[in-house]
Structure 1
Amino acid sequence: MILLWFIIILFVGGILAWIAEYWNASISRWISMLALIINFCLASYLLAAQNEIAILSESSWLLYYRIPWIPSFGISFYLALDGLSLVMLILTFFLGILAVLTSWKELQYKIGFFHFNLLWVLAGITGVFLTMDLFLFYFFWEVMLIPMYLLIGIWGHENRRYAAFKFFIFTQASGLLMFVAILGLYFVHGNLTGEYTFDYFKLLGTTFSPEVGRWL
């Protein structure tokens, strides 16, 4: 459940930071900082206790969380944590804290909306590092891109709108190609096994011809 909280804290923190701007912009900064510190402390605790957690774990993961999301399409909300993804999470939250600190006095325009976008970008990155369902992976990928586009377009420097537009076009085009490849693998696996799923490890074992492999 703690894996889900990593994402919820960032999503909710972003919304609260945006709302708080209408009362006091300084509160937005503190909400953003608090959300990141909580996640950083939780991740650091998991790192310190990973040996004990690994002993108690019933799987190869340190922690995992899985519930059906859209079972008719084989989509589940599947999050899992190992040592590498834990280190990446700690680094993500640490860099997020640095981003808030460096923007503390520099940023004076739409402060709440800035922190909303920052936390939602970090929530998307967190989801990408944790998810083991390829549909969910694409979902978090898209969640990350739009706030990033706004961060570049609104708070960037010279030619920021051009840079944001270029970023959006390239990432959306590559994301669309990735999603088409995921769907192709989904249908190939389903036709071969009769099980249509976006589970990464099940799709990883899919066998297909070299011709299909070139297309995917």
Structure 2
Amino acid sequence: MALPPHAIVPLNLGHIWLADMSLGIPVHGFLIKHPGGAGLVDTGYGTPLELIKDYRPVNASVAEELRKHDVDPSDVRWVINSHLHFDHCGQNAVFPQAPFYVQRAEYERRHRYADTPAQWLDFAGAHYELLDGEREIVPGVRVITTPGHTPGHQSVAVDTTAGPALLTGDACWTVKMFEGEAPLEGMMEDIPSFGQSLDKLRRLRPAAIHFCHDNRTWRPSG
């Protein structure tokens, strides 16, 4: 199944400050308007903001962002978490009706992430679907294993009428990094694996790439 490119809708889920890099970055999730029901990739960070105050977060509601696109949170049928850092899973509790698709390797080490409050993950009714590798979640939407940032990191590929669109999560942060114009720097648990995952994404010859921490969308030139 191929979706129209506009079925992938970026959501503005706030802004955080990385003190060790002296860098402010946006935070995005992505609504996927699928014929089988709305889906979501990453949920941003949660509340209270005091729990992550060192990151200087600004208030951002995934529910409000969805409603801007005529989608109620209760309409979301499934959620994919690229990984379980606080800025990618912090509002999971807004979707108690939805399964959360995450790699088993990621879920089993979730409490090692000191900056991810346990209450944002282990809330009453949370249902995690644990994956052991790549899988189609719904027709035309599949997860791709991209370890490096974390061992259980996954990205998302969406079949569109223009070609494959990638939602990288933290497997690639910016347009410049994807194009090889920026060094491989930032938070990576395994630098060689990160580089291999980035090459894997490039080999897919995507028609579009959507980033969690870059406001731009990459498309091939020419």
Tell me whether the two structures share a fold, i.e. TM-score over 0.5: no
Pick 1 or 2: higher relative contact order, CA cutoff 8 A, min separation 6: 1
Structure holding more helix per residue: 1
Structure holding more strand per residue: 2
